Chain A
Amino acid sequence: MDGITRLVYGIYPRSDELRVLISRTERGKAVTGDLRDRISRETEDLLSTFRGSSDIYSEPCVNWHDFFRPVAGFLTGFSLGKLQRYLQTNTFYREPVIESDLSLRDRFTEIDPPENLPAPLFGNDKEAWLTLPSPHSIFQASKNPSGIDEEKFSDSIFRAYAEIATELGRKGIVLRELFPYSDRAPDFLGALNGKFKTILVAHPESRSLPATGRNHKFHSIVASNQLLARAADSYEVPGIYALDGYNTKLEDAENISRKSEIAREILSVPRVVVTSNQHFDFLPRVIADRKLAVLKSLGAS
């Protein structure tokens, strides 16, 4: 469809088969080699589906238990704390604890983060963008006994992300903002833009967006029309929430199309990125698959 770029990002729900196999492996009733094979197959299958359903897609991360733990695994300086509720949901994540200065571990692709799955963190599809939590989100989610300040923390995270993207030869990075920005979003979130194409998916309840200036625009920021209108200097292509990652109700492709038309009109742009307001991991797999089919039906542009 003209004027639409379809994006799928974040953790995609595991299949029942994978979920059961993980559970069996945890109980010592299946071997980790089988699990590795299953994760690789499921990742490949999903990437193949994503290729046919979207214009920009990122890794499905089906082996990730939550969105912060792998980061705490591939960087030194973190330990893992208690389970914490993620905002107003019934989903929990293991709290990262910032213990000391952060740096990327050697052989990060092969690291099995503590208590995470025995599988590589990233796949082999160079067309797939990386999907990673924004430093601001990690900082918000973490306990910080080290007292590190957020800007320094973000620099370390971005350095690590850049190293990862370079080593894996990726086109770009989808940064997920898992917490809403208050009235003033951090102004140092554009640091990665000069090096890589970066899409920032802001939390839908954000009240502001980062101002990154004309030199280092985000490839896209996904946010409300109102915020996007105020931050036109910060992105090349605006992005809208068209699919609800919090509800099983299926969207109608025509409504999405109308919504994108309205956004293009309001923002005076020829193209918008169309995606979900949350990754699909909050949904049952069958519903995620149906929502992906809706995205697919919007057609390649």
Chain B
Amino acid sequence: MTGGLVTQEIGSFRKPEYLSTVFRKGGDDVRKLIERATLETLGVFRDSGLVNVGVGGEMFRWEMYEHLADHLEGIQFYGFVRSFDNRYFRKGSVVSKIIRKSSAHLEELQFVASHATEKIKVPITGAYTMTDWSFNEHYPDRHELALDYADVVHEEILDLKSEWQKIGRDQVLEIQIDEPAATTNPSEMDILRDTVERSIEGIQGCEFTIHVCYSTDYGILYKALADTALQGYNLEFANRDTLLPGINREQRTGYVDVKEFADRLGDRILGLGVTDVHIDDVEGSDLIKDRIEFSTRFQDIGRIRINPDCGLRTRSRETGFRKLKNMVEAGKAFTDRT
């Protein structure tokens, strides 16, 4: 712990080149490289001082959409589609009913739990994002498709919980539902709410958080999910903030939304994104401390955790490490000060 403030990563971390260049080939040799990369990444997280090491940077997953989709029936991949510039992802087409074939996260959890004593948090791609990032050739509407994806997430969580009980850790299993597409279609917030509710419905003994990033309107998210059983929200803020030092609104433009969060959801945990994963500039710990301090005007420090805005996979491992390290130092400096 850094003096009481929980520091966590969000999910992905850049794969070492020895893994990224062969990942898609699969097989036993690649599995060994995945394990090696996971151990190395856990080491990076440990050296940075993180309290919660997640699942070691998602080395078991190529990409958040494709990883889950590869464990499902009903999805066909025709090829790559553009995300931006020359960055592409494999967007699946739903061609028949979505059915879960096998667990997408069990092996990863088993491996990480046997090699890390730190807190663990398992990110699972959420049903709404799976829906939004799929072509739909089969279902009459997106709501119906989304609910079937939610059933998949629900089954996945049940398997992870069962495994967690066997592992026998003295920690509540933390599940982070990743929903980067959560607010993309404001008219579909009811679908988002229904899928979140169905994904976690009736499951006791886990801590459920949601991760959302790059939303143009967090307000609709807070409103839509206010009555769900989610205990926390891990959100991006740093990307919309300035790099200027200070704790006034003019400098901390990115954190003004924290007030609305606190007004609506102040009794929940806020995972505060304090370092921008889209820039190579490594924010200094003083700047990060200012971001935390400004946010505590609205949200009780006891219900704040700090994390990067999103997964750090787009930055080099060295830059990712430095961002995490500064974040941990800032957390410690803040709590020491108070």
Binding site for B on A (CB under 8 A): 13-14, 16, 19, 22-23, 26, 65-66, 83, 85, 88-94, 115, 246-249, 281-287
Interface assignment of B184: CB less than 8 Å from any CB of chain A: yes
Of B86, B135, B181, the residue contacting A19 (CB under 8 A) is B86
Query: Cβ of A284 and Cβ of B78 under 8 Å apart?
Result: yes
Identify the closest chain B residue to A284 (Cβ).
Answer: B79
Question: What residues of B have a CB within 8 angstroms of the CB of A90 in the complex?
Answer: 83, 91, 132-133, 181, 184
Q: How far is the CB of B79 from chain A (nearest CB, A)?
A: 3
| Segment 83-142 of B: residues with Cβ below 8 Å from A | 83-86, 88, 91, 93, 132-133, 135-137
Question: What residues of A have a CB within 8 angstroms of the CB of B214 in the complex?
Answer: 85
Of B81, B137, B216, the residue contacting A13 (CB under 8 A) is B81
A287→B88 CA distance, assembly (Å): 15
Interface string of B150-176 (1 = CB under 8 A from A): 000000000000000000000000000
Query: Cβ of B135 and Cβ of A16 under 8 Å apart?
Result: no
Identify the closest chain A residue to B180 (Cβ).
Answer: A90
Question: What residues of B have a CB within 8 angstroms of the CB of A93 in the complex?
Answer: 84
Supply 14 A–B pairs (Cβ within 8 Å), ascending by A.
Answer: A13-B81, A26-B86, A65-B86, A90-B184, A91-B82, A91-B83, A92-B83, A92-B84, A247-B136, A248-B93, A248-B135, A249-B137, A282-B81, A284-B80
Of A85, A88, A281, A286, the residue contacting B82 (CB under 8 A) is A281
Q: How far is the CB of B253 from chain A (nearest CB, A)?
A: 14
Query: Cβ of A247 and Cβ of B81 under 8 Å apart?
Result: no
Q: How far is the CB of A170 from chain B (nearest CB, A)?
A: 26
Of B79, B85, B86, B91, the residue contacting A286 (CB under 8 A) is B79
Interface assignment of B338: CB less than 8 Å from any CB of chain A: no
Identify the closest chain B residue to A69 (Cβ).
Answer: B85
A248 in contact with B181 given A16-B80, A285-B79, A286-B78 (CB within 8 Å): no
Question: What residues of A have a CB within 8 angstroms of the CB of B83 in the complex?
Answer: 90-92
Question: What residues of A have a CB within 8 angstroms of the CB of B85 in the complex?
Answer: 65-66, 94, 115
Further contacts, 4 of them, CB under 8 A, given A22-B86, A88-B185, A249-B137: A19-B80, A247-B137, A283-B81, A287-B78
Question: What residues of A have a CB within 8 angstroms of the CB of B93 in the complex?
Answer: 248-249
Q: How far is the CB of B282 from chain A (nearest CB, A)?
A: 19
| Segment 215-260 of B: residues with Cβ below 8 Å from A | 216
A22→B82 CA distance, assembly (Å): 13
A92→B137 CA distance, assembly (Å): 24
Most buried by A among B135, B136, B216: B135
Q: How far is the CB of B63 from chain A (nearest CB, A)?
A: 12
Query: Cβ of B184 and Cβ of A16 under 8 Å apart?
Result: no
A283→B81 CA distance, assembly (Å): 6
Q: How far is the CB of A180 from chain B (nearest CB, A)?
A: 14
Question: What residues of B have a CB within 8 angstroms of the CB of A83 in the complex?
Answer: 84, 278
A66→B184 CA distance, assembly (Å): 19
Q: How far is the CB of A47 from chain B (nearest CB, A)?
A: 21
A90→B133 CA distance, assembly (Å): 7
Identify the closest chain B residue to A86 (Cβ).
Answer: B84
Identify the closest chain B residue to A22 (Cβ).
Answer: B86
A23→B278 CA distance, assembly (Å): 19
Of B84, B91, B137, B184, the residue contacting A284 (CB under 8 A) is B91
Query: Cβ of B137 and Cβ of A91 under 8 Å apart?
Result: no
Question: What residues of B have a CB within 8 angstroms of the CB of A287 in the complex?
Answer: 78-79
Identify the closest chain B residue to A285 (Cβ).
Answer: B79
Query: Cβ of B88 and Cβ of A19 under 8 Å apart?
Result: yes
A13→B184 CA distance, assembly (Å): 23
A282→B185 CA distance, assembly (Å): 17
A16→B90 CA distance, assembly (Å): 12
Q: How far is the CB of B291 from chain A (nearest CB, A)?
A: 19
Q: How far is the CB of B16 from chain A (nearest CB, A)?
A: 16
Query: Cβ of A16 and Cβ of B86 under 8 Å apart?
Result: no
